[in-house]
Structure 1
């Protein structure tokens, strides 16, 4: 089945136009998309989303239900190694953040991870053709196949071809407000941390088998634009991730990784914002001649936010791999957030 990209684009434009009316709310906060590299060999580890630079106020809560759909195809072979990543993954995340002190926040992420042959192979070929992007090996590849495998020196180190859904690795989160200038859309800086627990299955690639600790800074600065042009926001994040050995490509897995995000958003109305961000991280694996394993990844993520009410928002985004093969070719992100 082939997805007509022009119809998909028209539907997105229509949705944004319908919800682009003022919702009589305070200025819409522009925050990073709550997503990260959805490669099946990366999303199982504790790589975090950048998150907002503003933590929740005491007694206030924010919830998010996010859906990430990522379609990957990568085939590499050499005299010593072979790698095949062919399939589609869905990650559903229920996130909660709660203000527990004047500057403190606690939270939890509960993910469900599914894999299957997918339906987006044709859509991605249309997407690449429409924008003149390289197709790689996709046109000649089987459609609707699920197969993740890696072999080195005659030894099979990864082999997963079973579809299904399962609990992913639960994350416990914390945040501390380092600076806030008091504005509605402020200049702000927060220190955030995340502890990922090995609650998923490493054999089904819903978890890594490792316990991971992430620590990062996230900041944002908002600027009022002249006339009726609304406001613009610049946001950024940078940090590090420490991981135990885990069970996925254990002999080649690295225990330390760095990551970062840089983005820009523009909100011309109280109910609508356009956003784009560049997110990257260092390599999660070593001892491979394939750059898709032993080099870092970079993604561009673009889309927007619509506000259904002063407290409820919807993020819609697409991501494209900048470093080809190290992240999915195309990924869709939807996130419904609500403030209590």
Structure 2
């Protein structure tokens, strides 16, 4: 089990963003919006934890498209008298999303993920990083680099064993949003929306690209943005719950009701750049005495947004397991979106 220093990761991302050319500057203010990401540990990303949590909805008759990439490096090993778990690998998840706006503040959308599980290439880099800064390795340096092994057993029975790389289409999600409140002035923009997500079992459970379950998520999402002489200041958050069927992965240990939420804030010093941090939280997805699957998760994503020519928005973020071992050790996030 490993942990990262938020300040070092945030400083690196901030340096990257602030050294890019201000030629991308636009006249309109850049608002603070959430990262479109969630907990990407192998046994969490197959369920309907929402990645799209922004309260801003697509205008009537308009489209919004997005493409995100999450690369997560995972290593954790734990055991008790009756359970044994080892998660060692890298997960790649690309998600294509489309949203369309109707009149009366209604939006519908679709998310199509592609998930790849493999041994990856980051183990050596992460081990060297930990060594250079005196961080604990958590056992990562005691196993072969770039290995894929997701193994879980209980009471002597093997319930999960993935050792071969594989990927494919993940579980498709149908999305909907309804605007409950919006107030906009020259300096303020406040929003509140009700969002829903229905995840369908279209992925392959044997390759951990899907869970085999139907998940329904319902949550409230809000944000406040303020324009000041120092730039735009913003806060955002969401809170709700997810109801799931048992599915095919550790079905006898599923928690069928899960609470979840996000919280974040940011600052846009110019119309082309914003710096922000975001917390993603969820209660346990499984009944277990092991931290990795039996505890609630907390993920911190630090980074920012760039506005590119053509009014494309590019999110760059680095996620960390603040509640250690409940999420990937590190997740590298990229998100590109555009309204038409």
Q: TM-score range by the shorter chain?
A: over 0.9
Aligned residue number for residue 48 of structure 1: 50
Q: What is the 5 A alignment of 1:123-134?
A: 123-129=125-131, 133-134=135-136
Kept in 1: contact 2:99–2:108 (CA 8 A): yes
Query: With structure 1 as the length reference, what TM-score do the two structures score?
Result: 0.92
Look up the match of 1:333: 333
> 1:165 Cα shift?
1.9
8 Å CA contact 2:24–2:309 kept in 1: the answer is no
Note closer, same or farther for the CA distance 1:190–1:76 as it changes in structure 2 (3 Å cut). Answer: same
Separation of aligned partners in 2, 1:126 and 1:77: 26
Find the counterpart in structure 1 of residue 308 from structure 2: 308
For structure 2, list consecutive stretches of 5 or more residues without a partner in the other structure: 1-7
Q: Distance in 2 between matches of 1:115 and 1:98?
A: 31
Question: 1:19 and 1:95, CA in 2 relative to 1: closer, same or farther beyond 3 A?
Answer: farther
Looking at structure 2, the residues matched to 61 and 285 of structure 1 have their Cα atoms a distance apart, in angstroms, of: 37
2-side partners of 1:190 and 1:11: how far apart?
30
Is 1:221 the counterpart of 2:224? The answer is yes
1:14 shift after superposition: 4.4
Q: How many residues align?
A: 331
Q: Within the alignment, does 1:186 sit opposite 2:178 as a pair?
A: no
Deviates more, 1:262-271 or 1:127-136: 127-136
What SS is found at the alignment partner of 2:253? coil
Cα separation, partners in 2 of 1:129 and 1:30, compared to 1, 3 Å: farther
Of 210-219 and 50-59, more deviation after overlay is shown by 50-59
User: Which of residues 189, 203, 206 is equivalent to 2:206?
Assistant: 203
The answer on whether the counterparts of 2:14 and 2:275 sit within 8 Å (CA) in structure 1 is no
Contact 2:14 2:304 in 1 (8 A): no
Summarize the alignment of residues 1-340 of structure 1 with structure 2, pairs less than 5 Å apart: 13-14=15-16, 16-21=18-23, 23-129=25-131, 133-183=135-185, 186-226=189-229, 229-286=230-287, 288-309=288-309, 311-340=311-340
The CA RMSD over aligned residues, in Å, is: 1.9
> Would the aligned equivalents of 2:24 and 2:308 in 1 still touch at CA under 8 Å?
no
Distance (whole Å) between structure 2 residues aligned to residue 11 and residue 221 of structure 1: 24
Shift of 1:53: 1.3
Unaligned 5+ segments in structure 1 are 1-5
